[in-house]
Chains A and B, each alone.
Chain A
């Protein structure tokens, strides 16, 4: 009797310790999910979810290239994903474990296949555009009623920028976003890998450099919302967050986001499984959970980014699916472009050009 009880206790103890041992470690961008979903995942699967966040592709990439990150699911953006696949950092997805993958949206799948052929290694989480956020009131005050707030003229024409300097302009500190934008402005192929063509952006960006208060990739959210700056070149969801924060603060700041009418860059954040993931099975469970139409819709409704899940669209709130800044209309969609990763030599030239533009050296 006593022996039996002991054995049972041991079995239960072993059972629970095994349940504790099964963890899924997810490494995603900061402020990028509805946290109720994390609880829901643990309740549905019984797995322990460890959820860490990062705020730059470069940091993630360095962890992936160094190896042994200990994560089961990571979320790199398109060009970074492509290079990391080439480096052998990810394992192919086992589609038999992802029945919900049928929910994916072909419009997005076709484009992400440019980074991940056949979408063999990744699923789309969110996507968006790089564009212009403007404090409408202040910009009109400085430039007049017909200020071109939906055009690259606003941020790349020195005449406009000289006037805007008084109320503050931030640019992304990301050459992979800014160089294609400047190329688009001068009518070149934004995805050009030719160093001579890329060099043509130097005079364009140098001409507006004196009027840029700061190059930074996240500070503009608060700065726009508080009214410290009046224009920012940034990512769609971030600027929409600034818009909502300003509305909540009721401080009279009205922010608008526009993907430039000349054409704007589209980006994709893709979920993938590192080649050395400790728990690939749990990783597939997490991906399948995210691919569920209702779960994906909950995430988009929370973070105000568009997703690549067609089936989720009927569950999206009207202020998400109906907002052209999040889900652009057919015409704007035609105008969006994607870029591919630079080869190492070109990458070095781009980084060097960017340092020169920023610091004058």
Chain B
């Protein structure tokens, strides 16, 4: 009985906060848009029975997504931006995590605090601060012109570069923390052993440290990549009008076209794009756990 309760709690959680909302969205995605409150006509109701629903089932909103190149281009562009920014975040985050794990014991809580500290400020305010830093008359350009490195201001704000800067900055802690957790547990004697057995420092890093921190790297990459695919705030504040992302397309379907069914269809497809990597990741984790046993 106790075991049953223990298992039931996470499943109830999943049911209430993931499956129920998902089915509501799925139901809207199978409806038709209308001028009404709410602005769609349900194509089925439970009273008529499930068979009436199944007979009338059509996927026109999903078919519509395949008819216009906009949608797959936006999905593709979002995945591309997510992949590049995850790689950049890893490049910046790994050395920081490594440095933290190698720092003297008494410094570590402080360093950890410094990584988490930005969360105390609103995310929106931090993105707005970047607008102040990156704009043509912003602090970065003022500084660079003052040092004489450049004579004309660099145009960064409203370009893809600004989007990448914003994403790497915002998601960096999500990369650092799991990698740090993995490196912190790392047994230093393993590296000594590798070096005793003839590895150079670089080889020991590549052959021992990296593989042992792999779970942290994978966790960090997923924690960054998954939310970035659906990111809306950073590209709309820092990016230009040309930055195409699925979050923006979703916003337009919902708010400009008032087409909740198509917006829901976009969301369902986005969810599938997000869920598949999570499932693969979990399998990977399980396999590893089994292999360790």
* Chain A residues within CB distance 8 Å of chain B: 56, 58-59, 61-62, 64-67, 83, 86-89, 173, 175, 212-215, 226, 228, 344, 347-348, 351-352, 354-355, 358-361
Closest to A342 in B: B257
Q: Which of B240, B244, B255 contacts A361 (CB 8 A)?
A: B244
28 examples of A-B residue contacts, CB within 8 angstroms: A58-B255, A59-B255, A61-B255, A65-B258, A67-B38, A86-B35, A87-B35, A88-B36, A89-B37, A175-B256, A213-B158, A215-B241, A226-B137, A228-B137, A344-B33, A344-B258, A344-B259, A347-B258, A348-B259, A354-B256, A355-B249, A355-B252, A358-B242, A359-B242, A359-B243, A359-B244, A361-B74, A361-B244
Q: Is B254 positioned at the interface, with any CB of A under 8 Å from its CB?
A: yes
Whether the pair A62, B254 counts as a contact (CB closer than 8 A) is yes
Residues of B with C-beta under 8 A to A62: 254-255
Chain A min CB distance to B79 (Å): 15
B170 within 8 A of A: no
Q: Which residues of B contact A61 (CB under 8 A)?
A: 255, 258
For B136, list chain A residues within 8 Å (CB). 228
Whether B68 is near chain A, meaning CB under 8 Å from some CB there, is: yes
Q: CA–CA, A352 to B253, complex, Å?
A: 10
Given the complex, which residues of A lie within 8 Å of B73, measured CB to CB? 361
- Sort A-B residue pairs by CB-CB distance and give the 7 closest, nearest first: A58-B255, A358-B241, A215-B241, A351-B256, A65-B39, A86-B35, A359-B244
Q: Mark B21-42, 1 if CB is under 8 A from A, else 0.
A: 0000000000001011111000
Docked Cα-Cα span, A62 to B258, in Å, equals 8
A-contact bits for B61-90, CB 8 A (1 contact / 0 none): 000000011100110000000000000000
Given contacts A61-B258, A65-B36, 19 further A-B contacts (CB under 8 A): A58-B256, A59-B255, A64-B37, A65-B37, A65-B39, A86-B35, A87-B35, A87-B36, A88-B36, A228-B135, A344-B33, A351-B256, A351-B257, A354-B256, A355-B70, A355-B249, A358-B241, A359-B242, A360-B242
With known contacts A58-B255, A58-B256, A228-B137, A361–B33 Cβ distance under 8 A: no
Could you tell me if A348 and B257 are in contact, using CB atoms closer than 8 angstroms?
yes
Which residues of B have CB within 8 Å of A351? 252, 256-257
A65 contact set on B, CB distance < 8 A: 36-39, 258
A4 shortest CB reach to chain B, Å: 51
Let me know if A87 and B69 touch, CB within 8 A: no
Where chain B touches its partner, the secondary structure class is: loop
From 149 to 202 in chain B, residues with beta carbon under 8 angstroms from any chain A beta carbon are 158
CB distance from A61 to the nearest CB of B (A): 7
Q: Which residues in A have their C-beta under 8 angstroms from that of B38?
A: 65-67
Chain A residue at smallest Cβ distance from B158 = A214
Give the residues in chain B near A214, CB-CB below 8 Å. 158, 240-241
| Complex Cα–Cα for A358 and B245 (A) | 13
Residues of B within 8 Å of A89, CB to CB, are: 37
Q: How many residues of B contact A (CB 8 A)?
A: 28
Does B37 lie within 8 Å of A87, measured CB to CB? Answer: yes
CB proximity of A257 to chain B, nearest CB, Å: 24
Tell me which residues across on chain B come within 8 A of A213, comparing CB atoms.
158
Q: How far is the CA of A347 from the CA of B256 in the complex (A)?
A: 8
- Cross-chain contact A352 with B254 (CB below 8 angstroms): no
Chain A hits for B254, CB < 8 A: 62
Output the least CB separation between B55 and chain A (Å): 26
Closest to A349 in B: B257
A213 to B254, CA, bound (A): 26
Q: Which residues of A contact B240 (CB under 8 A)?
A: 214
What residues of A have a CB within 8 angstroms of the CB of B69 in the complex? 361
Expressed in whole angstroms, the Cα–Cα distance for A58 and B74 within the complex equals: 22
Question: B242 — nearest CB in chain A belongs to which residue?
Answer: A359
Chain A residues in 8 Å Cβ range of B256 = 58, 175, 347, 351, 354
A88 near B37 with CB under 8 A, answer yes
Bound CA–CA A188/B135 (angstroms): 38
Chain B residue numbers with a CB within 8 Å of A175 are 256
Assembly CA distance A83 to B68 (angstroms): 26
Question: What are the residues of chain B within 8 A of A359 when measuring CB–CB?
Answer: 241-244
Q: Mark B233-272, 1 if CB is under 8 A from A, else 0.
A: 0000000111110000100101111110000000000000
